[in-house]
Amino acid sequence: MRTAKLGRNTTESSVEVEINLDGTGVADIETTVPFYNHMLNALSKHSQIDMFIRAKGDTDIDVHHTVEDVAIVLGTAVLEALGDKSGIERFANANCPLDEALTTATVDISGRPYLVHTGEPSGFEYALIGGHFTGSLVEHFFDAFCLNARICAHIDVVRGRDPHHIAESEFKAFARALGKAVRISERLNGAIASTKGVL
């Protein structure tokens, strides 16, 4: 079982994460930020990665610290659960629409963290979604997650108008790509999907 269980405590937040890369998308998530819960549930469901997440933070100041710290721990947990990455598909991409919004996501489990994030409409970063979550936190989540999971990802919003729809299409597209990329390939027979022999 490719699993990980991690925690992180700071003066700004307390985070506990458990994941199973070989799950079915079962989620038990409470971050005290409702829209973030919604996005993380979508990430779990559509990646088919089981996730247990508990987080509390200084949301009386801002939800920024809680969002960032969960992304850090979740990304680190994915990295740990991947182990030496033997047999994984490594590359994957997905397109995900949500009504008028459409996002494409491409993932490389490369060991080299890099995020390219484009296409959100002007002003999206200032949108307040669900009363607590600003649009700028979408890119911040992906940046922190990819850095700590050591994943390269290109996330491109093709179109969209409603901030909720845009954010959700991003999380779902990334989830689909991530789930496919971490999947074990029968054809690789346990080999590393790299000419270097290591990821």
Inform me whether the pLDDT recorded for 93 exceeds 90. Answer: yes
Question: Phi then psi for 198, rounded to 5 degrees?
Answer: -155, 145
What is the percentage of the chain residues whose pLDDT exceeds 70?
Answer: 100
Asked if residue 18 lies in contact with residue 4, where contact means CB atoms within 8 angstroms, the answer is yes
How many CA atoms lie less than 13 Å away from 146 in the CB half-sphere? 27
Domain of residue 30 covers: 3-181
Q: Is residue 199 assigned to a domain?
A: no
Q: Is residue 7 assigned to a domain?
A: yes
Question: Phi then psi for 183, rounded to 5 degrees?
Answer: -65, 145
CA 67 – CA 151 distance, rounded (Å) = 18
Q: Is residue 193 assigned to a domain?
A: no
Query: pTM above 0.75?
Result: yes
CATH code of the domain in which 69 resides:
3.30.230.40
Span 151-192, pLDDT tens digits: 999 999 999 999 999 999 999 999 999 999 999 999 999 999
Question: In this structure, is the dihedral angle defined by the CA atoms of residues 67, 72, 77 and 82, taken in order, positive or negative?
Answer: positive
Span 123-153, pLDDT tens digits: 999 999 999 999 999 999 999 999 999 999 9
- Number of domains forming the structure of the chain: 1
